[in-house]
């Protein structure tokens, strides 16, 4: 498996190298075009200047007239052209009408070869001074020429040839320097990429090491790292996860301790009475059987509540959301609790609304309402008041009792598992109600009202 540093460096090198090659190619193309244009301009300017010089030279009498040594116009012309300043990339040649080279006498070391001779013979001297491009393997030449009549009693052709060989040599040197600069830049870039990758992977390795510790149950806090925003956010997220896992671990341990304690009491009672019956200590087994039955019911109820919480925590609770008439759900719950109300000598007063639809799972909603209303029945002196309200696209159900209220010290812990206030049963009912409401997308609030405790259940209305 490839490391981030290797990936980072390899991608950087590949992209940088591709860009450098592209730049080098484009540079050579651009410079080549520039050189060719420059050569054409130089040849055109040279031809124009030399044309004026040739016309002046032909207007002069031959050097041999007036008693001097005999000389031809061709020699005077070649001497004048040689003495004139031409571009270093331009050479001139003088031919007779049969394309016999008159000057220079030898073509060695010049741009005159079989290929250029073919183009010179094919050159249209009627178009005086027009430039032709001659492409040959390894080089490009430009040719311009003129035909001169009655020079030494014959036709003479002056041809100017300009090549790119010198400029190509210059381009080669420029390429060497450019490649060298690119190589140095690539090395510096690679070192910078490796350094950047190291600065990126260093905190990741640190986070991985801490994550292994956290996975092993050692809920550490990673030291902050402000080298980058992403790293800081990652560490903050891991630290938040560590805190949540630590809290969940503590809750789980406390849950198991409390569950085992709550289970132990009825089990010990059942075991004690069973042993007493077995040993014949109890004279009336019916009384013992009644106690065993009562404790079994209590044990069954506790196990069911623990299993309900476990399903909710593990997200395996099979929810069936559908529009539910909240008023009917509250009314049905009150009807189910009538026996408990009569048994405790209490009264339930209700003020409900009709056709208030909420999107909910009927089983979960019934559990929430049942747990909260039964809690009110347990702590009320005489009356439990259940009301429904509508507020900001929310349906509210308030359950208020006329009991002694909730101690201020108990309010922050009321929905914690196995937390039992004065007169509590298992300490799971309100915890289940809160968890069920979270699954329904609602919330539950509690406060002390004018007489006793007041719970408020909030649910979103169905569209």
Q: How far apart are CA 38 and CA 41, in angstroms?
A: 5
Residue 267 confidence (pLDDT):
79
Q: Are 73 and 64 in contact (CB under 8 A)?
A: no
Query: What would the two tokens of residue 133 be?
Result: 């491009």
- Please give the Cα distance from 291 to 271 (Å, whole number): 11
**Cα(160)–Cα(126) distance, rounded to whole angstroms?**
15
Alpha helices in 280-361 (DSSP H): 285-313, 326-336, 338-344
pLDDT for 418: 67
C-alpha to C-alpha distance for 352 and 206, rounded to whole angstroms? 58
Please answer whether residues 156 and 147 qualify as being in contact, where contact means their C-beta atoms are separated by less than 8 angstroms. Answer: yes
- Going 274 to 280 to 281 to 283, the CA torsion angle's sign is positive
Radius of gyration of the chain (CA): 52
Q: Are 270 and 295 in contact (CB under 8 A)?
A: yes
Cβ atoms of residues 90 and 162 within 8 Å:
yes
Closest CA to 177 of 22, 27, 17: 27
Phi, psi of 91 (to 5 degrees): -125, 155
Tally of CA atoms within 13 A in the half-sphere of 175 that contains its CB: 16
Two tokens at 251?
Answer: 């809750």
Cα gap 337→335, rounded to integer Å: 5
| Residue 70 confidence (pLDDT) | 41
Q: What is the pLDDT of residue 282?
A: 74
SS3 54: helix
How far apart, in Å, are the Cα atoms of 183 and each of 24, 35, 189, 412?
12, 26, 10, 68
Structure tokens at 36: 């060719």
Q: Is pTM beyond 0.85 here?
A: no
Domains within the chain, CATH numbers bracketed = 4-64+71-171 (3.30.450), 229-313 (1.10.287.130), 321-460 (3.30.565.10)
DSSP-assigned beta bridge partners for residue 143? 132, 161
What is the reported pLDDT for 22?
93
Q: What is the pLDDT of residue 71?
A: 46
Q: What is the pLDDT along the chain (463 residues), one digit of tens a residue?
A: 677 778 777 888 888 889 999 999 999 999 988 988 888 888 888 888 888 888 777 776 655 544 443 446 777 777 777 776 666 678 889 888 888 888 887 777 678 888 888 888 888 888 888 898 888 777 788 999 988 876 655 668 889 988 887 777 888 889 999 999 999 988 888 888 888 888 878 888 888 888 888 888 888 888 888 777 888 888 888 889 888 888 777 767 766 666 666 677 677 777 887 887 777 777 677 777 887 887 787 777 777 767 776 766 666 666 778 899 999 999 999 988 888 888 888 899 999 988 899 988 888 888 889 888 988 888 888 999 999 999 888 899 999 998 888 888 777 777 776 666 665 555 677 888 888 888 888 899 988 877 888 999 999 888 6
pLDDT of residue 151: 61
- Helix or strand (DSSP H, E) at 171: helix 165-215
Whole-number pLDDT of residue 62: 58
Phi and psi torsions of 90, nearest 5°: -115, 135
């Amino acid at each position: 498996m490839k490391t981030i540093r290797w990936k980072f460096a390899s991608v950087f090198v590949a992209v940088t190298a591709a860009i450098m090659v592209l730049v080098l190619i484009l540079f050579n193309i651009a410079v080549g075009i520039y050189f060719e244009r420059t050569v054409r301009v130089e040849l055109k300017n040279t031809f124009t200047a030399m044309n004026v010089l040739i016309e002046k030279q032909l207007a002069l009498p031959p050097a041999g007239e007036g008693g001097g040594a005999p000389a031809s116009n061709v020699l005077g012309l070649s001497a004048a052209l040689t003495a004139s300043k031409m571009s270093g990339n331009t050479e001139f040649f003088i031919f007779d009408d049969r394309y016999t080279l008159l000057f220079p006498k030898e073509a060695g070391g010049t741009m005159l070869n079989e290929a250029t001779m073919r183009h010179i013979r094919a050159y249209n001297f009627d178009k005086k001074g027009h430039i032709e491009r001659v492409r040959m393997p390894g080089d490009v030449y430009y040719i311009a020429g003129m035909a001169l009549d009655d020079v030494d009693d014959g036709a003479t052709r002056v041809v100017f040839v300009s090549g790119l060989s010198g400029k190509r040599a210059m381009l080669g040197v420029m390429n060497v320097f450019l490649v060298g600069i690119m190589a140095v830049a690539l090395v510096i870039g690679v070192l910078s990429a490796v350094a950047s990758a190291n600065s990126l992977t260093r905190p990741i390795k640190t986070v991985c090491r801490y994550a292994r510790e956290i996975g092993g149950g050692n809920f550490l806090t990673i030291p902050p790292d402000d080298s980058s925003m992403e790293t800081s956010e990652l560490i903050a997220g891991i630290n938040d996860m560590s805190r949540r896992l630590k809290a969940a671990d503590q809750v789980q341990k406390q849950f198991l301790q409390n569950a085992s304690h709550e289970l132990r009491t009825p089990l010990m009672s059942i075991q004690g009475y069973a042993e007493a019956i077995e040993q014949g200590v109890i004279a009336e087994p019916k009384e013992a059987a009644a106690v065993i039955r009562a404790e079994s019911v209590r044990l069954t109820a506790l196990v069911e509540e623990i299993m309900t919480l476990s399903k909710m925590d593990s997200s395996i609770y099979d929810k069936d959301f559908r529009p539910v008439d909240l008023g009917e759900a509250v009314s049905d719950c009150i009807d189910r609790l009538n026996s408990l109300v009569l048994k405790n000598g209490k009264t339930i007063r209700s003020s409900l609304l009709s056709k208030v639809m909420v999107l909910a799972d009927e089983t979960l909603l019934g559990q929430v309402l049942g747990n909260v209303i039964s809690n009110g029945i347990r702590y009320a002196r005489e009356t439990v008041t259940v009301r429904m309200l509508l507020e900001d696209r929310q349906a509210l159900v308030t359950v208020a009792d006329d009991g002694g209220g909730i101690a201020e010290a108990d309010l922050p812990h009321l929905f914690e598992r196995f937390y039992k206030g004065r007169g509590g049963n298992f300490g799971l009912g309100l915890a289940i109600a809160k968890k069920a409401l979270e699954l329904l997308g609602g919330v539950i609030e509690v406060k002390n009202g004018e007489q006793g405790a007041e719970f408020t259940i909030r649910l979103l209305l169905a569209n």
